[in-house]
Amino acid sequence: MTETRETLRTNLLNQIDHDNIPAHIGIIMDGNGRWAKSRGKTRIHGHQEGARRVKTVVRFANDLGVRHISLYAFSVENWARPSFEVSALMRLIRAYIVRERNDLHAEGVKFRLVGRIEELAPEIIKQAEISTELMKNNPGLSLNLCINYGGRAEIVDAVKKIINKGFKADQVTEELISGHLYWPELPDVDLMVRTSGEMRTSNFHLWRSAYSELYFTPVLWPDFDDVELLNAILAYQNRERRFGKISEQLGKE
Protein backbone atom coordinates (compact mmCIF):
# COMPACT_ATOMS: atom_id res chain seq x y z
CA MET A 1 0.00 0.00 0.00
CA THR A 2 1.40 3.39 -0.99
CA GLU A 3 1.77 6.23 1.47
CA THR A 4 -1.13 8.01 -0.23
CA ARG A 5 -3.32 4.96 0.22
CA GLU A 6 -2.38 4.72 3.88
CA THR A 7 -3.26 8.40 4.32
CA LEU A 8 -6.67 7.83 2.73
CA ARG A 9 -7.23 4.83 4.97
CA THR A 10 -6.36 6.81 8.10
CA ASN A 11 -8.58 9.72 7.10
CA LEU A 12 -11.53 7.44 6.43
CA LEU A 13 -11.03 5.57 9.70
CA ASN A 14 -11.23 8.92 11.48
CA GLN A 15 -14.50 9.76 9.70
CA ILE A 16 -16.53 6.61 10.24
CA ASP A 17 -18.71 5.98 13.26
CA HIS A 18 -17.31 2.81 14.83
CA ASP A 19 -20.59 2.36 16.71
CA ASN A 20 -22.53 2.15 13.44
CA ILE A 21 -20.69 -0.53 11.51
CA PRO A 22 -23.06 -2.59 9.31
CA ALA A 23 -23.51 -5.99 10.92
CA HIS A 24 -23.99 -7.86 7.65
CA ILE A 25 -22.32 -6.83 4.39
CA GLY A 26 -23.11 -8.61 1.13
CA ILE A 27 -20.59 -8.25 -1.69
CA ILE A 28 -21.12 -9.07 -5.35
CA MET A 29 -17.51 -9.56 -6.41
CA ASP A 30 -17.65 -8.47 -10.04
CA GLY A 31 -15.00 -7.49 -12.55
CA ASN A 32 -12.38 -10.22 -12.31
CA GLY A 33 -12.52 -10.94 -16.03
CA ARG A 34 -12.33 -7.29 -17.07
CA TRP A 35 -9.47 -6.69 -14.63
CA ALA A 36 -7.53 -9.55 -16.24
CA LYS A 37 -8.37 -8.53 -19.82
CA SER A 38 -7.12 -5.00 -19.23
CA ARG A 39 -3.76 -6.51 -18.27
CA GLY A 40 -3.58 -9.00 -21.10
CA LYS A 41 -4.23 -11.91 -18.75
CA THR A 42 -6.74 -14.76 -18.82
CA ARG A 43 -10.07 -14.65 -17.01
CA ILE A 44 -8.82 -17.40 -14.72
CA HIS A 45 -5.93 -15.17 -13.66
CA GLY A 46 -8.50 -12.52 -12.79
CA HIS A 47 -10.41 -14.97 -10.62
CA GLN A 48 -7.17 -15.93 -8.86
CA GLU A 49 -6.46 -12.29 -8.06
CA GLY A 50 -10.04 -11.87 -6.90
CA ALA A 51 -9.62 -14.78 -4.49
CA ARG A 52 -6.52 -13.14 -3.04
CA ARG A 53 -8.47 -9.93 -2.50
CA VAL A 54 -10.98 -11.78 -0.32
CA LYS A 55 -8.35 -12.21 2.39
CA THR A 56 -7.64 -8.47 2.60
CA VAL A 57 -11.31 -7.50 2.80
CA VAL A 58 -12.32 -10.20 5.29
CA ARG A 59 -9.42 -9.46 7.62
CA PHE A 60 -10.10 -5.72 7.61
CA ALA A 61 -13.86 -6.19 8.06
CA ASN A 62 -13.19 -8.48 11.01
CA ASP A 63 -10.97 -5.84 12.59
CA LEU A 64 -13.72 -3.22 12.11
CA GLY A 65 -16.28 -5.37 13.92
CA VAL A 66 -18.42 -6.47 10.97
CA ARG A 67 -20.31 -9.58 12.11
CA HIS A 68 -21.13 -11.18 8.75
CA ILE A 69 -19.80 -10.93 5.20
CA SER A 70 -21.61 -12.80 2.43
CA LEU A 71 -19.56 -13.12 -0.76
CA TYR A 72 -21.31 -13.98 -4.02
CA ALA A 73 -18.70 -16.39 -5.35
CA PHE A 74 -20.70 -18.59 -7.76
CA SER A 75 -24.37 -18.28 -8.68
CA VAL A 76 -26.80 -20.94 -9.85
CA GLU A 77 -26.66 -19.19 -13.24
CA ASN A 78 -22.87 -19.40 -13.44
CA TRP A 79 -23.05 -23.07 -14.47
CA ALA A 80 -23.91 -21.73 -17.95
CA ARG A 81 -20.40 -20.31 -18.34
CA PRO A 82 -17.83 -22.17 -20.49
CA SER A 83 -17.05 -25.53 -18.89
CA PHE A 84 -13.33 -24.83 -18.59
CA GLU A 85 -14.05 -21.67 -16.58
CA VAL A 86 -16.54 -23.45 -14.32
CA SER A 87 -14.01 -26.21 -13.65
CA ALA A 88 -11.30 -23.67 -12.90
CA LEU A 89 -13.59 -21.77 -10.54
CA MET A 90 -14.46 -24.94 -8.65
CA ARG A 91 -10.78 -25.81 -8.27
CA LEU A 92 -10.12 -22.27 -7.09
CA ILE A 93 -12.93 -22.43 -4.52
CA ARG A 94 -11.65 -25.71 -3.11
CA ALA A 95 -8.08 -24.39 -3.01
CA TYR A 96 -9.21 -21.22 -1.24
CA ILE A 97 -11.08 -23.17 1.44
CA VAL A 98 -8.05 -25.35 2.15
CA ARG A 99 -5.37 -22.67 1.80
CA GLU A 100 -7.02 -20.04 3.98
CA ARG A 101 -8.41 -22.35 6.66
CA ASN A 102 -5.67 -21.95 9.26
CA ASP A 103 -5.28 -18.20 8.77
CA LEU A 104 -9.02 -17.59 9.06
CA HIS A 105 -9.14 -19.75 12.16
CA ALA A 106 -6.20 -17.91 13.72
CA GLU A 107 -8.01 -14.61 13.16
CA GLY A 108 -11.15 -15.87 14.92
CA VAL A 109 -13.29 -16.00 11.78
CA LYS A 110 -16.20 -18.41 11.33
CA PHE A 111 -16.87 -20.03 7.95
CA ARG A 112 -19.70 -21.63 6.05
CA LEU A 113 -20.95 -22.24 2.53
CA VAL A 114 -24.41 -20.93 1.64
CA GLY A 115 -26.42 -22.20 -1.32
CA ARG A 116 -27.43 -25.49 -2.91
CA ILE A 117 -24.38 -27.09 -1.38
CA GLU A 118 -25.51 -30.67 -1.96
CA GLU A 119 -25.01 -30.17 -5.73
CA LEU A 120 -21.31 -29.34 -5.38
CA ALA A 121 -18.43 -31.77 -5.78
CA PRO A 122 -18.00 -34.04 -2.73
CA GLU A 123 -14.46 -32.79 -2.10
CA ILE A 124 -15.63 -29.17 -1.88
CA ILE A 125 -18.39 -30.18 0.53
CA LYS A 126 -15.91 -32.17 2.62
CA GLN A 127 -13.38 -29.35 2.87
CA ALA A 128 -16.10 -26.81 3.69
CA GLU A 129 -17.42 -29.04 6.47
CA ILE A 130 -13.92 -29.33 7.94
CA SER A 131 -13.54 -25.55 7.97
CA THR A 132 -17.01 -24.95 9.38
CA GLU A 133 -16.46 -27.41 12.21
CA LEU A 134 -12.99 -26.07 13.00
CA MET A 135 -14.16 -22.46 13.23
CA LYS A 136 -17.68 -22.84 14.61
CA ASN A 137 -16.85 -21.47 18.07
CA ASN A 138 -14.70 -18.57 16.90
CA PRO A 139 -15.76 -15.14 18.18
CA GLY A 140 -15.18 -13.10 15.04
CA LEU A 141 -16.80 -12.36 11.72
CA SER A 142 -18.75 -15.05 9.89
CA LEU A 143 -17.52 -15.49 6.32
CA ASN A 144 -20.43 -16.81 4.26
CA LEU A 145 -19.20 -18.02 0.89
CA CYS A 146 -22.24 -18.18 -1.38
CA ILE A 147 -21.66 -21.03 -3.85
CA ASN A 148 -24.29 -22.39 -6.25
CA TYR A 149 -26.46 -19.69 -4.73
CA GLY A 150 -29.43 -17.76 -6.07
CA GLY A 151 -31.87 -15.57 -4.21
CA ARG A 152 -34.89 -16.99 -6.04
CA ALA A 153 -33.59 -20.54 -5.57
CA GLU A 154 -33.27 -19.92 -1.84
CA ILE A 155 -36.87 -18.74 -1.57
CA VAL A 156 -38.14 -21.64 -3.70
CA ASP A 157 -36.23 -24.13 -1.54
CA ALA A 158 -37.62 -22.51 1.62
CA VAL A 159 -41.20 -22.79 0.29
CA LYS A 160 -40.64 -26.47 -0.58
CA LYS A 161 -39.45 -27.17 2.97
CA ILE A 162 -42.52 -25.43 4.38
CA ILE A 163 -44.88 -27.42 2.13
CA ASN A 164 -43.13 -30.69 2.97
CA LYS A 165 -43.61 -29.98 6.67
CA GLY A 166 -47.35 -29.67 6.14
CA PHE A 167 -47.89 -26.00 7.02
CA LYS A 168 -51.24 -24.50 6.00
CA ALA A 169 -51.48 -21.35 3.89
CA ASP A 170 -52.74 -19.25 6.82
CA GLN A 171 -49.69 -20.33 8.83
CA VAL A 172 -47.21 -18.89 6.35
CA THR A 173 -45.57 -15.71 7.61
CA GLU A 174 -42.39 -13.80 6.84
CA GLU A 175 -40.88 -15.29 9.99
CA LEU A 176 -41.72 -18.81 8.82
CA ILE A 177 -40.08 -18.25 5.44
CA SER A 178 -37.03 -16.65 7.07
CA GLY A 179 -36.74 -19.68 9.30
CA HIS A 180 -36.45 -22.00 6.30
CA LEU A 181 -33.77 -20.16 4.33
CA TYR A 182 -30.38 -21.81 3.83
CA TRP A 183 -29.00 -20.46 7.09
CA PRO A 184 -31.92 -19.15 9.16
CA GLU A 185 -29.72 -17.49 11.78
CA LEU A 186 -28.10 -15.19 9.21
CA PRO A 187 -29.53 -11.67 9.66
CA ASP A 188 -30.70 -9.34 6.92
CA VAL A 189 -28.07 -7.61 4.81
CA ASP A 190 -27.42 -4.05 5.98
CA LEU A 191 -25.09 -3.01 3.17
CA MET A 192 -25.00 -4.55 -0.31
CA VAL A 193 -21.88 -3.74 -2.34
CA ARG A 194 -21.32 -4.42 -6.02
CA THR A 195 -18.02 -3.76 -7.71
CA SER A 196 -17.18 -3.09 -11.39
CA GLY A 197 -19.80 -0.44 -12.16
CA GLU A 198 -22.75 -2.76 -12.76
CA MET A 199 -25.88 -1.48 -11.00
CA ARG A 200 -27.98 -4.52 -10.19
CA THR A 201 -28.06 -7.11 -7.42
CA SER A 202 -28.22 -10.12 -9.77
CA ASN A 203 -30.39 -12.43 -7.67
CA PHE A 204 -28.23 -12.12 -4.56
CA HIS A 205 -29.86 -12.33 -1.11
CA LEU A 206 -33.26 -11.25 -2.45
CA TRP A 207 -35.08 -11.99 0.81
CA ARG A 208 -32.50 -10.59 3.18
CA SER A 209 -31.79 -7.44 1.16
CA ALA A 210 -35.32 -6.01 1.36
CA TYR A 211 -34.01 -2.96 3.25
CA SER A 212 -30.32 -3.11 2.36
CA GLU A 213 -28.45 0.04 1.52
CA LEU A 214 -27.02 -0.42 -1.99
CA TYR A 215 -23.52 0.73 -2.88
CA PHE A 216 -22.21 0.50 -6.43
CA THR A 217 -18.60 1.27 -7.28
CA PRO A 218 -16.72 1.24 -10.62
CA VAL A 219 -13.74 -0.36 -8.89
CA LEU A 220 -13.09 -3.89 -10.16
CA TRP A 221 -13.06 -6.57 -7.46
CA PRO A 222 -9.31 -7.36 -7.55
CA ASP A 223 -8.69 -3.64 -6.79
CA PHE A 224 -11.26 -3.43 -3.98
CA ASP A 225 -9.23 -2.96 -0.79
CA ASP A 226 -9.68 -1.67 2.75
CA VAL A 227 -9.97 1.92 1.53
CA GLU A 228 -12.80 0.96 -0.81
CA LEU A 229 -14.56 -0.92 1.98
CA LEU A 230 -14.31 2.16 4.20
CA ASN A 231 -15.79 4.29 1.41
CA ALA A 232 -18.74 1.90 1.22
CA ILE A 233 -19.26 1.93 4.98
CA LEU A 234 -19.05 5.71 5.12
CA ALA A 235 -21.69 5.97 2.37
CA TYR A 236 -23.87 3.59 4.40
CA GLN A 237 -23.48 5.72 7.52
CA ASN A 238 -24.44 8.88 5.65
CA ARG A 239 -27.84 7.47 4.72
CA GLU A 240 -31.03 7.44 6.77
CA ARG A 241 -32.49 3.96 7.24
CA ARG A 242 -36.22 4.41 7.90
CA PHE A 243 -37.64 0.91 7.25
CA GLY A 244 -40.93 2.38 6.01
CA LYS A 245 -41.18 5.04 8.71
CA ILE A 246 -40.59 8.81 8.45
CA SER A 247 -37.70 10.74 9.93
CA GLU A 248 -39.81 12.21 12.76
CA GLN A 249 -40.66 8.71 13.99
CA LEU A 250 -36.95 7.99 14.29
CA GLY A 251 -36.39 11.12 16.35
CA LYS A 252 -34.79 12.99 13.46
CA GLU A 253 -35.67 16.30 11.94
Write out the DSSP string of 121-150: -HHHHHHHHHHHHHHTT--S-EEEEEEEE-
Cα–Cα separations (whole angstroms), residue 138 to 84, 101, 103, 146, 149: 36, 13, 12, 20, 25
Length of the chain counted residue by residue? 253
Sequence-distant (≥ 6) Cβ neighbours of residue 136 within 8 angstroms = 110
Cα–Cα separations (whole angstroms), residue 126 to 86, 131, 135: 19, 9, 14
Catalytic residue among 17, 30, 144, 190: 30
Catalytic residue among 14, 63, 78, 137: 78
Q: Is 11 one of the catalytic residues? A: no
Q: Is 30 one of the catalytic residues? A: yes
Q: Which residues are catalytic?
A: 30, 78
